[in-house]
Amino acid sequence: MTDGASTTDCDYCGLPVPRAWFGSRAVDEESLQPRYCCYGCQFASRVTQESGEEGAARWTLTRLGLAIFLTMNVMVFTMTLWSFDVYGVDQSTGTSASLAGLLRSLCLLLSAPVLLLLGQPIIISALQALKRGVLSTDILVMAGVIAAFVYSVVSVIRGAGQTYFEVGCMVLVMMTLGRWLEATSRIRATETLDELEQLLPDVVTAERGDDLCEIPIEEVVVSDLLRVQPGERFPTDGQLEKGSASVDEQLVTGESWPVTKHPGDSIIGGTLNLDAQVTLRVTERPSGGTLSRLIAAVQEARQSQGIHQRLADRMASWFLPVVAMIATATFLGHGLNSGWGAGLMAAMSVLLVACPCALGLATPLAAWCSLDHAARKQVLFRSGEAIEKLSVVKAVRFDKTGTLTSDVAHIARVHTDGHTDRTEVITRARSLAATSTHIFARTILNDTESPVAASDILKSRSLPGLGVEGCWDGERAPTLLGSEKLMLLHGMEIPHVLRSVLDQEETAGNAVTLIGWDVAVRGVFVFNEVLREDADDAIAGCRALSLDIAILTGDHEGRGRQISSLLNVPVHAGLLPDGKLSLIRETHQTVGDVAMIGDGINDAPALAAADVGIAMRSGADVSRDSADICLLSNDLCRIPWAIDHARQTVRIIRQNLGWAIGYNSLGIALAAFGWLHPIIAAALMLVSSVVVIANSLRLQSHENTSQRISGDSATIRNGNTAFPSTSSQGAVS
């Protein structure tokens, strides 16, 4: 449990170490020592450490086991003493007095090692925290344990009075087990991040002229040539220099099938070389590669705080002082009325049952489990607040191009005005397409060949939502490549033959791109665009979550009607970026919080304006600032899954907080009235942490929403679904 706000990270679990509540003094001798957020992490670190003095880890576990063994014996002797009271045996004279004295002495003899074995480390940890200005419940509980032990020793020496050795022993055992359980649960909640950090090798093979040498990965610099063998992971981002290989990119992009890479192709760090020895030319240092950026993004999300976490922190800030005052009042009240032994037991019960472990774990553990499981599902939440915002969305707006449609299209036909040479149309289109990242621009480059070398463009400019323009040497007016709206805005005349083509293609619902120069449109490219095969399942998944769904696109009305009929979803067509922005704001006012799903580039304004922005295809670029959530794969079904997962996360956080608040309120009341024995209070403390941990870990097995859809919705999946068109794939020249 952390009692305060964070300053640095725990060296075991990564949770923030609480800042100083008072004093705020820097302790020089501790600056180089490991820092832990709680005694549980310190204990677990000692158990699992692989360095240090030989046998230290084994001794830590042995110490706990020995303490448990001794505690069990103390309990046996204590129960024997209790039997004297149950059966009314007189302990003041004769054999009974001798036996009672012997049993008390044995309890003292066996409990003293338990206090040293388990109590001493907790006291040291609490004092170290106190030196940093952090007040924790550990020091208050240990004060109660020591007081109970001293009180019991005095009773043994006097030969009269109650002894509470079993209370101190059981409290120490349960505290240690509880804190260890908490620490290990935090580690389990961050398994994915740990696995990612361990993927990259510590040593790589570098080519130095004709020689090969092994160097630490930290010494790799840009332009280095690295030799990567089959079965090894690429240590950083780069470009394939020599050789061809099949590469498994599932870790980053979610692509389940291997991708064949040839010289000149880009390689993502952390992906797996499957079948051939290759040479990689480094383009990013390992510390700045894709995998490192992904890890950094997850770490940043872990450290961020949502609304519920800030609420829990505010509660924790006054929780401990209030508990200390209640415990003091309980001690005085029961001590004056029922004896100081009874007062001590009641006060210890208050401190134990009110241990804020459950409150401290309620939000961060659930958030960490959620972030970890989402990362496994190729969903990257940028912060805990993004989870909370996504959980309350009422509407989802999809961009069409590159989101609902595949990022691979093909040219079906190329039409010209009948006067312009087809080669010139294609050559100019290829030159302009090379300056754009749009899917249709990439398709023009991939599906066409020009026998004439394209001349260099003097200047070009991207026009968001419209297309691209560029000027050639010796020409005043620019050449335009884009939508019909772009041509009309620049006063381009559309010849009758191309007007007929556009009307025909629009009626058929086909995607088109126009090219024009010298005040007239010269050609029309018609594309075969393919819906993603999981688009229907994603839409059905969103409907199952009772979300308001619509599609935003810059395509013409005919194209919009075609998409609407295929997916049975309202489509807003002919939108420029400003139009999408206005619709997002309007939807927020009329429906509620909106999630916008786009490619994160052309849709940046809409993504930023939405309550939650979700960027598709972000596996190789997790640093996009316009999106709250990045999908590292192209699986559209991750969208309804992410929304359902966010809702489940917030439900569990609220359950955890409700349990922690209710448990502490009821437990403190019972303990303050003297109705709760310290051993029962310690057991309840352990149970409360287990409840929060078990509830939070449920998030790591959250199933995909789309898998629960019965399948009775109309589907269009039959392989990939293409919009009706006469397909003509391959190169067009």
Average pLDDT across the chain, whole number: 79
CATH for 365-405+532-643? 3.40.50.1000
Q: What is the mean pLDDT of residues 330-336?
A: 92
Residue 1 binned pLDDT confidence (cut-offs 50, 70, 90): very low
Q: What is the mean pLDDT of residues 173-191?
A: 72
Task: Take residue 16 and report the two structure tokens written for it.
Answer: 């923030």
Q: What is the mean pLDDT of residues 185-191?
A: 66
Q: What is the mean pLDDT of residues 172-180?
A: 79
d(CA 657, CA 359): 6
Q: Are the C-beta atoms of 368 and 362 separated by less than 8 Å?
A: no
> What residues contact 30, with CB distance under 8 A and at least 6 apart?
128, 131, 132
Q: Is the pLDDT confidence value at 709 over 70?
A: no
Task: Take residue 277 and report the two structure tokens written for it.
Answer: 């020895």
Q: Is the pLDDT confidence value at 29 over 50?
A: no
* pLDDT: which is higher, 155 or 723: 155
Share of the chain above pLDDT 90, in %: 21
d(CA 225, CA 216): 14
pLDDT of residue 53: 38
Q: What is the mean pLDDT of residues 251-256?
A: 64
Q: Are the C-beta atoms of 142 and 126 separated by less than 8 Å?
A: yes
Q: Give span(s): CATH 3.40.1110.10, the chain.
A: 410-530
pLDDT of residue 724: 40
Strand partners, 233: 272
pLDDT of residue 654: 92
Residue 27 binned pLDDT confidence (cut-offs 50, 70, 90): very low
Angle at 314 between CA 313 and CA 315, to 5 degrees: 90
d(CA 458, CA 468): 14
Region class of 14: left (phi > 0), else alpha (psi between -120 and 50), else beta: left
Q: Are the C-beta atoms of 352 and 680 separated by less than 8 Å?
A: no
pLDDT of residue 499: 92
Task: Pick the catalytic residue from 237, 399, 635, 644.
Answer: 399
Task: Take residue 683 and report the two structure tokens written for it.
Answer: 């057991």
Angle at 95 between CA 91 and CA 101, to 5 degrees: 55
What is the topology classification, in CATH, of domain 410-530?
Calcium-transporting ATPase, cytoplasmic domain N (3.40.1110)
Q: Is the pLDDT confidence value at 320 over 70?
A: yes
Region class of 18: left (phi > 0), else alpha (psi between -120 and 50), else beta: beta
* pLDDT: which is higher, 185 or 215: 215
pLDDT of residue 496: 92
pLDDT of residue 587: 93
Containing H/E element for 383?
none
72-131 confidence digits (pLDDT tens): 999 888 888 877 666 666 666 667 778 888 888 999 999 999 998 888 888 887 787 777
Q: Is the pLDDT confidence value at 20 over 70?
A: no
Q: Give span(s): CATH 2.70.150.10, the chain.
A: 201-288
513-533 confidence digits (pLDDT tens): 999 998 899 999 998 877 888
414-444 confidence digits (pLDDT tens): 999 888 889 989 999 998 988 887 878 888 9
Which residue, among 163, 162, 107, 118, has the nearest Cα to 142 in the 3D structure? 118
CATH for 201-288, options being 3.40.630.30, 3.40.50.300, 2.40.50.140, 2.70.150.10: 2.70.150.10
Q: Give span(s): CATH 3.40.50.1000, the chain.
A: 365-405+532-643
Residue 548 binned pLDDT confidence (cut-offs 50, 70, 90): very high
pLDDT of residue 240: 92
Catalytic residue check, 399: yes
Q: Is the pLDDT confidence value at 311 over 90?
A: no
d(CA 635, CA 483): 28
Asked whether the whole model's pTM tops 0.85, one would answer no
658-667 confidence digits (pLDDT tens): 898 898 899 9
Q: Is the pLDDT confidence value at 144 over 50?
A: yes
450-486 confidence digits (pLDDT tens): 666 656 677 888 887 788 999 887 788 899 999 888 9
Q: Is the pLDDT confidence value at 321 over 50?
A: yes
